[in-house]
Structure 1
Amino acid sequence: MDQAKPLPSYLSQRYHGWKATTYAENQAWYKRLASDGQHPRAMVISCCDSRVHVTSIFGADQGEFFIHRNIANLVPPYEPDGDHHGTSAAVEYAVSVLHVAHLIVLGHSSCGGVQGCIDMCNGHAPELEEKSSFVGRWMDILKPKFELVAQEQDPKVQAQQLEKHAVVASLENLMTFPFVKSRVDDGLLSLHGLWTEIGEGGLEAYQPQTHTFVPV
């Protein structure tokens, strides 16, 4: 693999700064994590967006969350077809091997993936319609929910509505996984849907009784 390059100097400097401070001050904790293995209480499925920082939002330490990130924090339906399924594999590992007690789907404001879905549904993103578009085919998971917001005239409101529907769609799809459903039915696993407003630092939780998101 001849194309790999050395790490950018600013990242090397940050690493050495971390090793000399944070790691040095908590060395026993890191060694314990390495020797005892991971025992996270929760899995969080969030967006790849660089502005969404799950551990910061919840003040979490290393070893507390099993985190999976993808475009628009989506979970596909259960499809054991032998193809590559990164998100499904992460869910399986968290639920069946790590036995997490909580599975959290975290959506967010100004999501580029969700906006791409809106553009695609409105015929404004032909590049996403191409069969070769990984992003477009991934956003097909969310497309059925677009009809629920199609009549909204305010673009910002429409985007936020679909961002929240993306969270709900993922929760619905999680329940199609037999190993998720069985643990939920047995009271060993709880599902949670959250949406965060990046600019305001707000956090809302999905309420299945009213099908709404309310401030935490």
Structure 2
Amino acid sequence: MDRVVFNPFAPLMLILLFGLLVLVGLVIILFPIVFLTAIGATFTKLGFSWREALLILLLTLAGSFVNVPVRTLESRAAPAYDRYVAVYGRLYRIPEPVQRTVLAVNVGGALIPLAISLYLLYDSVVISGGYLVMGLALAGVAVVTVVTKLVARPVPGLGIATPFFIPPLAALIAALVLSTFAGGVPVAAVIIAYVSGTLGTLIGADLLNLGHIAELGAPMA
């Protein structure tokens, strides 16, 4: 008599499938933990305690949902409308152009990192006993600003698009190079990397492109 219920998979295939499911589950569970732990460890190297690092992370995540309106810009032109546009290999969905653009400052993406950067610049004077690390950090800001400005692209209907990996990579390279002139200050590279990555991106991508915002027809920038 023919079998009605049978296993369509070979035992080896079942083992491989089970192992793949376990691996995917571990990645989904562990990646956020590893990511947050790495960020927390970075903040502790900057002189913050783990409690302060956790508080900064929570405030940054919560603040990323909060935009503080600064002013409203009248659109100077009505850009051609494409529903989707690809920039640096990423596909963006573009809303219909509007006549007014709200210029806003994101709390988690701008205000909190700016406050931390200013604190680190002040603290670098105390740590190094002079203005050496501060000067190196500001030099890193200049480098990242130039690099970010070169790759930032105004996207009609959306805002300013920047490849996510280029500003951090520029900040990393600038920190590694400039920290060699820090005279043995152990946290110089971390301070330079954070300050230059934060301020350089904000200046290069946002402040230096403010003149283009009114031309984009984006609802918010």
TM over 0.5: no
Q: Which has the higher strand share?
A: 1
**Structure number with larger C-alpha Rg:** 2
**TM-score (ref. length: structure 2):** 0.28
Q: Which has the higher helix share?
A: 2
Larger RCO, structure (CA 8 Å, separation 6 or more): 2
